[in-house]
Amino acid sequence: MKDYLEGLRQRRRDRGVRGRAELVFAVLLTVTMFTFPGHPFTLTDTLFCLLMLSVVYLATWTPWLAAVASMPVLPVALFILGQSGSFFFLITALVVELLAAQGLLRLAATVAVVQGGASLLDLTDMTVSTDPVGLMLVGLTMLGGYTVGYTRYSQVRRRRELQQSLMDEQRNQRLAMARELHDLVATDLTSVVMQAQVLELHPIAAADDELHQQLADISESSRRALESLRAMLRVLNTELPEGSEDSSAPKSVQESLRATVRELKAHRFRVRQSVSLPADVQVDRQVVARVLTEMRSNAVKHSPPRSEIILTCTVAHDELVLTMSNERLPTPEEGAGDDTGLPGDLLSSHIGLASMSGRAAVARGTVTAGPEKNDPQRWRTQLKLPIVGTG
């Protein structure tokens, strides 16, 4: 029974029609029936009115049942309530409108036609009426209910078609982006990994421990970049289930910090670190890893060679506070030369801070960056991320 009711709720949500306004209108109509002059209401009349309200309510839950129940409404209402029952053709018009609004156009049209025919029946005298005015009134009312319902259905259908079109367009864009990344970036990264591994085995590299370690670092960095790229390609090609986790996520914050220190030292920077974290601290590891990667990249691009980089990571006020401070090269506006020989646009895409802030915001964290107050020649980037838990 529970599954059946849940199925009804789901179908009702899918149709997008609640029927609340129609039910309120039916209640007002029923109240009008009770105040109609010259007709004392009995218990039978009251039960019939409640039955009609139930038909309107069920029209969004079980449309077919409501349609069948509404067909004999008008002749029965005239038989039970007399002339005051003639107003109940409005009830069936509401049912027709709700059926059409849910896309059950044939059923709504059938109910409207049956109501037109039923309006000719007089159960009191067991005769068929030929009143053209009454038939026209009922017909126009049914047509009005059908038109309103069809208009609502058309609007909902157009909105869903537009949403589906946008989703298809976004998916096509993701697939095109995934193909480009796979064909261009992934192929080149794979080549870098293979060449670095081959060079590690070269006799010259084998005889020079420092050179061997540098090649190993290049190979490891390229391999991690390739894993991250493949994870991104999976996201672009398919929708990941809710709660799924990227397989390239580091096992711990400490692992991300150690990898960052190794990378900075491989670039000949002097690293001073101060890390004070519980062994079982739990934060969004993916955000920490991505922000650390961007911090490291910015430090490598914008710091003088062999300068000092300060890395600190602590827990304060139920937050993980990760800070990187590095010396910064003068900007071109300050008369700086470019020691790398590379164009500035090649070294920086100018979206790093926005990317870090966006990733942190997803995990309810914040990223701040700017020159240090005491030493404007040093650049300070800080991530604050809420602690999820420990243990």
The whole-number pLDDT of residue 184 equals: 65
What's the average model confidence in pLDDT over 184-206?
72
The whole-number pLDDT of residue 278 equals: 83
The number of angstroms, rounded, from the C-alpha of 189 to the middle of its chain's C-alpha atoms is: 32
State which of 14-18, 197-201, 285-289, 352-356 shows the largest mean pLDDT.
285-289
Higher-confidence position of 205 and 375: 375
Higher-confidence position of 66 and 182: 66
The whole-number pLDDT of residue 313 equals: 93
Q: Express as a percent the part of the chain with pLDDT over 70.
A: 73
What's the average model confidence in pLDDT over 221-246?
65
- For residue 99, what are its two tokens? 């059926």
The number of angstroms, rounded, from the C-alpha of 269 to the middle of its chain's C-alpha atoms is: 42
Which one-letter DSSP state was computed for residue 329? Answer: P
Query: pTM for the full model?
Result: 0.46
What's the average model confidence in pLDDT over 47-54?
79
* Cα→Cα distances 300→155, 217, 251, 382, Å: 55, 15, 25, 17
Higher-confidence position of 50 and 335: 50
Q: How confident is the model at residue 242 (pLDDT cuts 50, 70, 90)?
A: very low
Q: For the chain, how many residues are written?
A: 391
What's the average model confidence in pLDDT over 290-319?
87
Q: Collect contacts of 209-217 with beta carbons under 8 A, ≥24 apart.
A: 213/266, 214/266, 217/262, 217/263, 217/266
Across the chain, what does the average pLDDT equal?
A: 76
Q: How far apart are CA 184 and CA 190, in angstroms?
A: 10
